[in-house]
Amino acid sequence: MQVKFENYVVTYPVVIHKDDDSTYGVTVPDLPGCFSAGSTMEEALANAKEAIECHIKGFVMDDEEVPEPLSIDTHIKNPDYKNGIWALVDFDYGKIDAPMKIKYKRINVTIPSHLLKHIDQYAKNKHLSRSAFITQATVNAMTDTK
């Protein structure tokens, strides 16, 4: 199923460390091996955004599933992040031009039968499966900035 993720923003928690004799170091716990740094906190966070983009593009190029971000509460218990400062960095999946390997989950929904007929006809006209259409419609609705 191919879904366009234009303006679909996901927020990744990052942890920032600073030793007295170093720059600000940033770790993205949900993206193993994704690190960044900067001489100021602002620069470190801007660089973290770029690192996240590059890292996610790497997952896509390698045809690997992109890890979903977990909450800060999940990571804060990890002793590697002790005394770190937590922040959130947004990533727009619309920046990914290639198909992404995404974990899907089968669900059961109830939809009025007359609406389902319209959904199926619309999806067929657009050469989409029902699932692809509903997924795309959901992404569009969630990213509508109006």
Q: Is 62:72 a contact under the CB 8 Å cutoff?
A: no
Confidence (pLDDT) at 41: 93
- All CATH 3.30.160.250 domain ranges in the chain, comma separated: 1-101
What dotted CATH number matches 1-101? 3.30.160.250
Confidence (pLDDT) at 4: 54
Q: Helical H runs in the chain?
A: 41-61, 72-75, 113-125, 130-143
Average pLDDT of each block of 10 consecutive residues along the chain (146 residues)?
61 93 94 94 95 89 85 92 93 71 77 91 86 80 65
What dotted CATH number matches 104-146? 1.10.1220
- All CATH 1.10.1220 domain ranges in the chain, comma separated: 104-146
| Residue 143 burial (CB count, 10 A) | 15
The sheet with strand 35-38 has its strands ordered as: 35-38, 24-27, 9-18, 85-92
Confidence (pLDDT) at 55: 92
pTM exceeds cut of 0.85: no
**Coil vs helix vs strand at 14:** strand
Confidence (pLDDT) at 1: 46
